[in-house]
Chain A
C-alpha cells in the first residue's frame, strides 16, 4: 500500500479559535498551511462558549486587576509572566476580533458591552448576547478562509511524527473513506481542545476526547497539571449541558430545597459570583447534605425570574432555550435546575508563553507548538476564571501562530516516509480486526461513572485509588474490544474506539496526578487534605507515561510575580 505524503510549511490540528487564529497568521505571510479537523471547523467546541471573553478596557478596570483576579482565581498556580502576557494583550485581541467582524453586543454609545462574571473585580466579560464563542469562532474561521487557509475537515489525526526531540508532521485518515495520509511539515501545532469528556456529567461536546493530549503522551512526552479539571457550577440537571456563568453574572440566585440562598454560607461577599470551584463545591455540598431539588434531588435552583422577560430575551435567549429544551422549564417564569458539571481542562500539553512544547522541565521540542484548551501555559493554574478560556484560545492561538512564523525558516524539513505511519496503521488494523468481547460504549460508561464518582469535585486518597484501579482495569479490558462495523465509510464506531483509547490514557494522568497532590488548590479539592499547601505543592505536576501505561510524576516550579501569595476568600 502506498500512502500519500502531503507537504506543507505548517500543519495545525484542530480548527477552533486557537487553530484558526494561528493558521491565519501563517497564511497571511504566505506560508503554506493546512488545518486538519475531525469535524467541520464551524462545529468546533469554541463555538459553544456562551457568556463572554475578558478584556480590561473599561474606565473602572485595569490590566493589573485582570491579572490579580486571574492569579487569585488560579489559586496562585498560574505562571504570572504568562498571565501578564494574557491580560496585557487582551484588549487589543478583542478589538482585533471585532475588526474582523465579531458581532459583539454594544453599549448605548456603540462600544463593546461588558458584563460581570465570577471572581472578577469589575465587569470585564465582553459578550455577544449569550453566544460569544459562536461569533468568535465564525469570525476567525471566516477570516482564515478568506486568506486562503486550506482546511482538511473530517480528517482524524491518529499520530504525531516525533523523534529526536523534533516534530515533523502527523498521520491522519479521512473519516469519509479511511484512507490514510502523511502530512509532513516543518512545524506542527496542536489545538485539539479539552478533555472533560471522561466524566459522566460534563458540559463538553462529544468530540472533546482529548486526542491531542494522549497522542503526545504516547511519545513519552509530559502532560502538565492534569489533575485540575474545572467543575462548572451550572450544568443542566441530568445531562450537564452548560448554563453560562452569565446567568449568575446577570443576577441569578442559587436556592436550595429549604428556599435558602445558600451562598451566604460559602462566600458571603461575592455570593453567586465567587470563583467557579467555590460555587461548585457549595452546590454539591448542599445536595450531599440532602438539600437538593428536582426529580432526583441532584440539583439546586437558579432563579432568574426577577430579571424579567426583557433582560432574559435580550441577554440570555439561548440559555432560556436550553432550559426549555432539556428541562421543560422557562427561566422567565420559574427557577431552573442546575448542578456542577465537568467543564474545562486547566492541564494539558506543557508550553512556554511562545507556544513551544516542552520535552521536559528545561528542554523544548523543535517544530512543535500547542495552544488553547489542550495546552497548559499555565494561565489558569488550578482554576480558570470565567471568560478567560475564549481569550486564551484566541490570543495564544494568534501569538503562537506568530512564533511559528518567526521560527519556521530556521527549521529544516525532515522528510517523512511511510514508516512514520506504522504506529497509526497498526492501531487502525488492531481495532478493525481485534476479536474480543468488550464493547466501547460499555467501557466508556464505566470510565465516566467512575471518574465522576471518584475523581470529581470532591476527592480523597481512597476515592482516587479506586479510580486509579478502575482505569487500569479498563486498560486491560480495552485489549479485548471488538467493533461490529468493519466498513470503510464513516466508521464512527472505529473512531469512538480510538477516542476511548485516548480517554483512558489521559484519565490515568488525571487520577495519578490527583492522588499525589496532597493538598486542596482551586478545582482540585482533597477532603483528606483540605487546605492549600504552598510549602510542598506550589508547583506544576509534570507527568509522563511509559510504554506500559505506567505514570511517573515530576514537578516544575511556578513562575511567581508581583501578585503575592494570599489566602483565597470570596
Chain B
C-alpha cells in the first residue's frame, strides 16, 4: 500500500487439507479470492477459516512476525505467513498459489505439523546461557558493544522452523540437529557470558547429529524470515570447533583441513590431494570418476600443480590464522 491507494487482484488458492482424525489421505481445496495490497498470507488463512470453512486449521498468534507460530510453505517455499505480503507472493509466483504445511510428512491437520523433532533438537543443544546465575545482582556484566554484536543476530531467531523443514539433511538424517538448533547453539557459544566450556561444542561435533553433516546448500539462509543466516552460524561453529580443540580427525574435518594443507603447500587447491587427505584409502572408490575427470581436463594431477608465486606469504598467512591440529 502506498499512502493513497489500495489495489486488489484475483488469486486462486490451492490449499492442502488433511485431518488425521478422519482423513485417510490428504487432498487440496481450491478457493478464489479478491486479495488486497494490504494483505499478508496470514490474512488469507484467516479468511478461509472465518469466511469459508471454520474447520480449517493453522497455528498463529502474534500476527507480526515475532512469535514464529505461523510458518507454512507457499508454492514449496517456506515462509512466515504473517510477515509475507500477498503482493510479493504474487510478484514471485503469479496468481496461482499453493499453501502447504512446512512438512507434508509431518502434517497433522491442514497447515499444522507435528514439530516434536524440531523442539527436541532445539532442547538438545543446551539452548540457554550456562552460568551460575547471580540471583540478586547489584550490577550487570559489562559487555562492550563489539562483544554484544558477536551474537550476529542469532538471538533474533523465533524458532519458526522454516529453515529446519527446508533443510535437505533434516529430511534424510533423523539425527541431524538442523540449522535452527545450530543457530541457537551459536547464540550461546558466541556469548561472552557463557561458561559451557566444551560440552555444547562436543555435542555439535558428534557425527550424524552435528555441524559436519551440513551440505552447505544455503537453503536455510534463503528461507529465514528474520534473515538470521543460519549457515553463517554453522560456519562459525566449524571454526570454533577447531579453535577450541574439539575437532577430531574424521572425514569431514579432514576435508576442511585438506583445504588448508593444500593452500599451505601449493598456494592453490589440489583437488585430488584434498580427497586423498580427507578419505585416505577409501579414495580408490573415486578412481574411475577421477580418471574420467582427468581425461576431460576437469582436474589437474598432483604432479602438474603449478604453485602460487607468493607461496611464502601464503604460508605465513595460513600459519597465523589456522587453528587446526591435524
Q: How far is the CB of A224 from chain B (nearest CB, A)?
A: 26
Given A109-B142, A327-B1, A489-B109: A48 and B67 interface contact (C-beta under 8 Å): yes
Please tell me if the beta carbons of B1 and A295 are within 8 angstroms of each other in the complex: yes
Q: Which parts of B75-109 form the interface with A (CB within 8 Å)?
A: 83, 85, 87, 108-109
A sample of 23 inter-chain contacts (CB < 8 A) reads A42-B68, A43-B68, A45-B62, A48-B64, A96-B134, A96-B136, A99-B131, A101-B129, A104-B140, A110-B143, A111-B142, A142-B129, A143-B129, A145-B128, A206-B63, A241-B64, A295-B6, A322-B65, A328-B37, A329-B2, A334-B3, A488-B21, A492-B57
A139 to chain B: which residues have CB within 8 Å? Answer: 129
Q: Does A565 contact B (CB under 8 A)?
A: no
Q: Which of A1-9, A130-138, A422-430, A457-465 contacts B (4 or more CB under 8 A)?
A: A130-138
Question: Chain B 113-152, CB within 8 Å of chain A: the 1/0 string?
Answer: 0000001000100011101011111111111110010010
Considering the chains assembled together, what is the distance between the CA atoms of A445 and B49 in angstroms? 13
Q: How far is the CB of A46 from chain B (nearest CB, A)?
A: 10
Please tell me if the beta carbons of B141 and A99 are within 8 angstroms of each other in the complex: yes
The closest CB in chain B to the CB of A44 belongs to B67
Q: How far is the CB of A330 from chain B (nearest CB, A)?
A: 11
Q: Does B22 contact A (CB under 8 A)?
A: yes
Q: Does A47 contact B (CB under 8 A)?
A: yes
Q: Does A417 contact B (CB under 8 A)?
A: no
Considering the chains assembled together, what is the distance between the CA atoms of A241 and B85 in angstroms? 15
Please tell me if the beta carbons of A207 and B61 are within 8 angstroms of each other in the complex: yes
Q: Which of A239, A487, A496 contacts B19 (CB 8 A)?
A: A487
Q: Does B197 contact A (CB under 8 A)?
A: no
Considering the chains assembled together, what is the distance between the CA atoms of A484 and B55 in angstroms? 6
Q: Does B156 contact A (CB under 8 A)?
A: yes
Considering the chains assembled together, what is the distance between the CA atoms of A326 and B139 in angstroms? 40
The closest CB in chain A to the CB of B62 belongs to A205
Q: Which of A106, A107, A238, A321 contacts B38 (CB 8 A)?
A: A238
Q: Does B297 contact A (CB under 8 A)?
A: no
Q: Which of A106, A206, A242, A439 contacts B60 (CB 8 A)?
A: A206
The closest CB in chain A to the CB of B136 belongs to A92
Considering the chains assembled together, what is the distance between the CA atoms of A331 and B193 in angstroms? 35
Question: Chain A 13-41, CB within 8 Å of chain B: the 1/0 string?
Answer: 00000000000000000000000000110
Considering the chains assembled together, what is the distance between the CA atoms of A32 and B152 in angstroms? 37
Considering the chains assembled together, what is the distance between the CA atoms of A131 and B226 in angstroms? 12
Considering the chains assembled together, what is the distance between the CA atoms of A358 and B142 in angstroms? 42
Considering the chains assembled together, what is the distance between the CA atoms of A110 and B194 in angstroms? 17
Considering the chains assembled together, what is the distance between the CA atoms of A318 and B226 in angstroms? 9
Please tell me if the beta carbons of A42 and B159 are within 8 angstroms of each other in the complex: yes
B60 to chain A: which residues have CB within 8 Å? Answer: 206
The closest CB in chain B to the CB of A327 belongs to B1
Please tell me if the beta carbons of A48 and B148 are within 8 angstroms of each other in the complex: no
The closest CB in chain B to the CB of A49 belongs to B66
B155 to chain A: which residues have CB within 8 Å? Answer: 103, 128, 134-135, 138
Given A103-B148, A108-B145: A295 and B5 interface contact (C-beta under 8 Å): yes
Q: How far is the CB of B76 from chain A (nearest CB, A)?
A: 22
Please tell me if the beta carbons of A134 and B138 are within 8 angstroms of each other in the complex: no
The closest CB in chain A to the CB of B82 belongs to A325
Q: Does B250 contact A (CB under 8 A)?
A: no
B22 to chain A: which residues have CB within 8 Å? Answer: 487
Q: How far is the CB of A29 from chain B (nearest CB, A)?
A: 12
The closest CB in chain B to the CB of A236 belongs to B64
Please tell me if the beta carbons of A295 and B4 are within 8 angstroms of each other in the complex: yes
A43 to chain B: which residues have CB within 8 Å? Answer: 61-62, 67-69
Please tell me if the beta carbons of A293 and B3 are within 8 angstroms of each other in the complex: yes
Q: How far is the CB of A63 from chain B (nearest CB, A)?
A: 14
Please tell me if the beta carbons of B64 and A441 are within 8 angstroms of each other in the complex: no
Considering the chains assembled together, what is the distance between the CA atoms of A206 and B135 in angstroms? 34
Question: Chain A 87-131, CB within 8 Å of chain B: the 1/0 string?
Answer: 000001011101111011111111110000000000000001001
B194 to chain A: which residues have CB within 8 Å? Answer: 101
Please tell me if the beta carbons of B65 and A325 are within 8 angstroms of each other in the complex: yes
Q: Does A294 contact B (CB under 8 A)?
A: yes
Q: Does A483 contact B (CB under 8 A)?
A: yes
Q: Does B54 contact A (CB under 8 A)?
A: yes
Please tell me if the beta carbons of B55 and A485 are within 8 angstroms of each other in the complex: yes
The closest CB in chain A to the CB of B127 belongs to A142
Sorted nearest first, the 8 A-B pairs with minimum C-beta distance are A101-B129, A110-B142, A485-B55, A142-B128, A441-B50, A489-B21, A493-B54, A487-B21
Q: Does A146 contact B (CB under 8 A)?
A: yes
A328 to chain B: which residues have CB within 8 Å? Answer: 1-2, 37, 85, 87
Q: How far is the CB of B152 from chain A (nearest CB, A)?
A: 11
Q: Does A542 contact B (CB under 8 A)?
A: no
Q: Does A176 contact B (CB under 8 A)?
A: yes
Q: Does A490 contact B (CB under 8 A)?
A: yes
Please tell me if the beta carbons of A490 and B112 are within 8 angstroms of each other in the complex: yes
Considering the chains assembled together, what is the distance between the CA atoms of A483 and B54 in angstroms? 7
Considering the chains assembled together, what is the distance between the CA atoms of A95 and B193 in angstroms? 13
B188 to chain A: which residues have CB within 8 Å? Answer: 101
B131 to chain A: which residues have CB within 8 Å? Answer: 99-101
Question: Chain A 232-246, CB within 8 Å of chain B: the 1/0 string?
Answer: 000000110110000
Q: How far is the CB of B202 from chain A (nearest CB, A)?
A: 18
B5 to chain A: which residues have CB within 8 Å? Answer: 295
A484 to chain B: which residues have CB within 8 Å? Answer: 53-55
Considering the chains assembled together, what is the distance between the CA atoms of A489 and B144 in angstroms? 49
Q: Does A274 contact B (CB under 8 A)?
A: no
B139 to chain A: which residues have CB within 8 Å? Answer: 95
Q: Does B308 contact A (CB under 8 A)?
A: no
Considering the chains assembled together, what is the distance between the CA atoms of A338 and B144 in angstroms? 35
B1 to chain A: which residues have CB within 8 Å? Answer: 238, 295, 327-329
Question: Chain B 265-303, CB within 8 Å of chain A: the 1/0 string?
Answer: 000000000000000000000000000000000000000
A47 to chain B: which residues have CB within 8 Å? Answer: 62, 66-67, 158
Please tell me if the beta carbons of B69 and A39 are within 8 angstroms of each other in the complex: yes
A109 to chain B: which residues have CB within 8 Å? Answer: 142, 144
Considering the chains assembled together, what is the distance between the CA atoms of A212 and B66 in angstroms? 23
Considering the chains assembled together, what is the distance between the CA atoms of A48 and B158 in angstroms? 11
Considering the chains assembled together, what is the distance between the CA atoms of A105 and B144 in angstroms? 10
B10 to chain A: which residues have CB within 8 Å? Answer: none
Q: How far is the CB of B142 from chain A (nearest CB, A)?
A: 3
Q: How far is the CB of B228 from chain A (nearest CB, A)?
A: 13
Question: Among the interface residues A101, A295, A487, which one has the most CB atoms of the partner chain B within 10 A?
Answer: A101
Q: Which parts of B24-69 form the interface with A (CB within 8 Å)?
A: 37-38, 40, 49-51, 53-55, 57-58, 60-69
B83 to chain A: which residues have CB within 8 Å? Answer: 321, 325
Considering the chains assembled together, what is the distance between the CA atoms of A94 and B158 in angstroms? 22
Question: Chain A 310-346, CB within 8 Å of chain B: the 1/0 string?
Answer: 0000000010011001111100001001000000000
Since A42-B67, A128-B155, A205-B63 are in contact, a sample of 4 more A-B pairs with Cβ atoms closer than 8 Å, ordered by chain A residue number, is: A96-B133, A101-B191, A327-B38, A490-B57
Q: Does B8 contact A (CB under 8 A)?
A: no
Q: Does A440 contact B (CB under 8 A)?
A: yes
B207 to chain A: which residues have CB within 8 Å? Answer: none
Q: How far is the CB of A283 from chain B (nearest CB, A)?
A: 16
Please tell me if the beta carbons of A134 and B19 are within 8 angstroms of each other in the complex: no
The closest CB in chain B to the CB of A109 belongs to B142
Given A96-B135, A295-B4, A295-B5: A134 and B156 interface contact (C-beta under 8 Å): yes
Q: How far is the CB of A475 from chain B (nearest CB, A)?
A: 20
Q: Which of A95, A146, A242, A492 contacts B137 (CB 8 A)?
A: A95
Q: How far is the CB of B128 from chain A (nearest CB, A)?
A: 4
Please tell me if the beta carbons of A176 and B143 are within 8 angstroms of each other in the complex: no
A128 to chain B: which residues have CB within 8 Å? Answer: 155
Given A110-B142, A138-B155: A439 and B54 interface contact (C-beta under 8 Å): yes
Given A142-B128, A326-B38, A488-B21: A321 and B61 interface contact (C-beta under 8 Å): no
Please tell me if the beta carbons of A487 and B140 are within 8 angstroms of each other in the complex: no
Q: Does B199 contact A (CB under 8 A)?
A: no
Q: Which parts of A381-413 form the interface with B (CB within 8 Å)?
A: none
Question: Chain A 435-475, CB within 8 Å of chain B: the 1/0 string?
Answer: 00001110001000000000000000000000000000000
